[in-house]
Structure 1
Amino acid sequence: MNGLDRKLGLCLLIISICSTLSISQSKNDKTVVGTVGKEKITYGELKANVNTFPNSSPSLKELEDFLPIYLEYKAKIQFAEKEGILKDEQLLSELGQYSKQASYSYWLENKIKETEFEKYYDRASNELKSEHILIALNNNASPEDTLEAYQKLIEARNKFLNGTDFSELDRQYSSTQNGRSMGGDLPWFSIGTTVKEFEDQIFSLKIGEVSMPFRTQFGYHIVHLQDKRSRTLSREVSHIFTRAGSQASKEKVDTAFEKLEAGWPWSEVVLEFSDDGLSAPNGGKIGWVNYGRYQTGFVDSVMALDTEIDYSKPIQTSYGYHIFRIDSVQSFGNEEEKKKTYMKEFLDSPNFKKSNSFVINWLMNNYRNSVNQQVLENFNTKIAQSDTLKISNIEFPETNTNLFSFRDYKFTDTDYHNYLDATHPEASAKSYSDKWFSDFKTYAIDSVLVKLTVSEFPEFQKTLDNYQKGLAVYQVNDTYLWSAATVDTSELVKIYENNEAEYSFPKRHFYYLLSSFADTSLAKGIDFIKNGNHPDSLRSYYPRVSVVKDSTGVFTDDPFDKLEQMSPGSFSEPFDYRQRTAVFYLKEILPSRKMNFEEAFNRLLASYQPKREDLWLNELKKRFKIKADYKKLRNAFKNDEKL
């Protein structure tokens, strides 16, 4: 196990150890089963922290085995406190990084997922039919372009309210791409099939209503809700498919239907006739079909099928010709099963993303925040007046006036200027973008997220404390138990001098392994060495020949057993090696010799490690007076079983 894996594993273990649930304790749980200095370890604490299978109680042996480990862990924490390790600068820096990311994860799992799923579940029972107008804007659009798009959509909305047909307004106002409107009619869809901003708007409307302008990643929209109905349950579908566009395709699907009617197995007909190369090898399965994933006409055709028939007659859709088979219809045995299915949908949908930006946006939308527009306007005006001057060189009045508020946290215009200095040090006033203030708001919330998380979830502080202890215990172990820098080298010297035979190199072969996909290239490489050139230069002249050299190992397995039969300066016969043709070139045979102390150091350290750990832990036990009371532990366990 490398150091990083060991560090992560230990810290996670300690978080697990320390995450004791607050539960009511019986008198039996208060029994003291061990002490570390003045700290008393109770039976209840030990029982709560031992790692057992979920919903199972630890056995007596598990508790007895865990007691000395837990006491040592407690002693290491006390040691870290006395030595100032808990306040180590590097440790606190790492704790800060963990705290930030843990805060994001905590919000996702303990607040956002539950809250957003409730909204998702409530909406998931409906399907909506709508049309929209879209004016495309990129994220860096100027304030002028943004305002212009907004005002155009207000104009379009007013015209619709006064009787103008929405499709006509779409042609007049929507942006186009490749000659086609980016707005217009939308198919029936349910929750989780479009971006969240659009979904929030449309699900807030009543039938016949049109929204105010709103922004998504695509630009500014208004949306008109045309109709609403109960959600159509998904159908799991397989098909035989031929492409539209020719009489041959129609004849092909008709022939496939005739074969089915004649008794051919479905899988054979699919392989023989279907043009869908992705689904054909899997029996024609295309998965669950519902509104929002496919074109409306295609889904209508699937939903209109009688589920009792084995397969449909040939049906034409916008994709081509199909023979459909309904493999399953979505159903729910109870409410719990329905919620479980929708939860999986929710976690895979745009409504839930495990990203920091998703958390920030959720916090922005769900908690009190405000922008002092006058202060922002003054700030932007100052920048606009500075033209080509670097933003970092603009002299702003030292107002330090509140610009952005989030919950009880305040951020000033000076904070914003400092942020721009740090993130855009070379930017000129001319390049200023409104997006930078949006980024600043994200930065501001991120900067207070740990404090906010502790405030909202007081138990989160315990997670941070436990991780800090985990880092400290790791550092104690790394410094005093694992690090080569702190080992007593005099002890290693004694081992080295008293065990000469164990710290010697045996006879070894110093060889080159040459290999290539092309036998001709390998032959050229062999000739290169035979002509007196050094093997280390081979790759420079013949890059298609791989060269590996070694002189440290003692090998007996094929193909390395060939080396025993070779003499220095010779080549082996060619052999297959990792799908290449290869040969050995034996440079020389190195005689056995005693290692010097530096060469033997790692092996000496490994030999001494168990004793080293025992010595240090014994000193730790003495210093912190570790005592385990197994008799009280056994009595507490017996009394526990009687309850």
Structure 2
Amino acid sequence: MRYLFQFLVLVTFIQNGFSQEKKALFTIDSTSYYSDEFIRVYNKNLDLVKDDSQKDLDKYLELFVGYKLKVQKAYKLGLHYNVRYQNELMSYRGQLAKNYINDSKVTNELVEEAYERINKEVKASHILILVDESASPEDTLRAYNKVVKVQQLLKEGKNFEEIADQYSEDPSVKENKGNLGYFSAFRMVYPFENAAFNTSVGDFSAPFRTKFGYHIVKVTDARKNRGEVTVAHIMIVKPSTPDAALQEKTKQTIEEIYQKIKQGENFESLANQFSEDKSTSGKGGVLQRFGSGQLASEKFEEIAFSLNDKNEVSKPFQSQFGWHIVKLIEKHPVQSIQEMRTELESKVRKDERSLLITNSLAAKLRKKYSFTKNGKLFLKIKKSVTDDFYSQTWEMPENKKELSGELVVLNKDKKLYSPSFINYIFSQQKSNIKIKPINALIDHLFEKWMDDQLIKYYDDNLENEFVEFKNIVEEYRDGLLLFDLMEKEIWERAKTDTIGLNAYFKNNSKNYMWNNRYDIDVYSSTDEKVIGKAKSYLEKNKSIDYIKSKLNKNGAINVMVKSGLFEENYDILSEYKNLQQGATSIVKKGNYYFVLKVKEVKPTQEKTIDECRGKVISDYQQYLENNWVDDLKKEFKVNVNQKVFEMVKNQILK
């Protein structure tokens, strides 16, 4: 709910470049809210609201004042001091800032490289020697020596799979012998992707390092990217217990469904009736489109991509999740770079490739911002660092007072103090930097530290650099506060206020009724004669198994049965009026004929609160919220400047 709420808040805050003169439109107690914000938000929401009444400026002002009242209440309660709120706001700001901390030239180069790779899929195996990014020099050297030994064995012609099985520390190696299958760009960490795409088929790479450790990758095949595919499927879930009878029943069910498809019955209808993938059965079994390596089942992917003709249906097959039948809906080839550019730019920013962009940005910021270094203090710091740095045993100097002071003045207004740089030097010992002599190493670290400080300064001042960034952050901040307030005042209260909830349910119990319900067996067939025979058997009180044995013969599935307790508006039940116990008449819907056996009729009755608790809580929340703004208007003093509001109206309606 939190992320949905944040998304809805964000949707209203897309910049449109509208600028206005800033005047106080209304006050809440002593806090002023200005016309420019009201106009900006109104224009952003204009195309999003479905209710035309909300476009009415008087009503919109009322909504806007209500929104600000809630935010004011959040501040009054001190919700902005909450550590979780502060962390979430800073996390969002950091994510948003990534859109501004960018270098377009480097980004374009990375996008073009990624697109070239996306058009290809490589199949690769790897050997991994684990070593942490911050491992000691001894552990790093030990891992490196091991991977070099592996490389030598491969050079001698040893079998890659056997060497992987013997030496690789990837936990999955026992199952896959190092085989990672096919993948394209963005499926692996960037250094691994580089090695895979720069190694010829049949060759193995030199050792290289990622955040996981040292790797050697062997490319075993390459092919044109198959793109993505949209399929529908019917799934019968694998039994949770290793019961042979249940396993056989599952297989029998999928085979019966497949037989009905072969007999010409509608795939979507069968998926709707029988598929146990509840997330897709209501949509005729249709899955979201996917590409190689995106599903947990490689078997499912291979079957899906093996289908060539639209509406082609696979034979039943088994995955680790159960039995499936797949139907091809559409194949989607790789799009052009123009069509994919926005998506690729987003992926590049989230990938390790972003480090290349960051380094380029730092170079530009050195030209944008000036800084001066305290040479004397810097020299003292240099002298305090010894060769112990290389063995990671250097300790920060005890005479901190002598080494304290302003080390850098950045852009004439930002002072950077020496302890920050000294701590940075200390932290970099784990990086295993080997630059010598020590003076050259400290010069190198200073430049890296300055790059970090320049980017941080730029990041900290994004609100001053970009008005739209400032607006989005401020409005998201209020949106987060409003969420926390709603959670405290409305949502949690509705769930924990048992007395209030029960009273609300008692006063509104007529809104929570069961429709007529029927305990039924639903018999379906595309053959009217078959369903007529099923009806005659039902009238003789024959069992489901008996009827199926009589009508499903010689491998043909002529009738299927679904049982359960359903309300009167369920699917085929809407075709019947005044259902009574016993066998019903035959009705046709689409290509199917149906007959029902009604075992029990449960008439309309009030639900208990436990039978509809979720709906009652939701309605009670809405009830509390509807009365909340009126209470806030009594708590805070609201004063609207009608003269300014008339000016706002004229400006918007021009």
TM-score scaled to structure 2, two decimals? Answer: 0.46
Taking structure 1 as the reference length, what is the TM-score of the superposition? Answer: 0.46
Larger Rg: 1
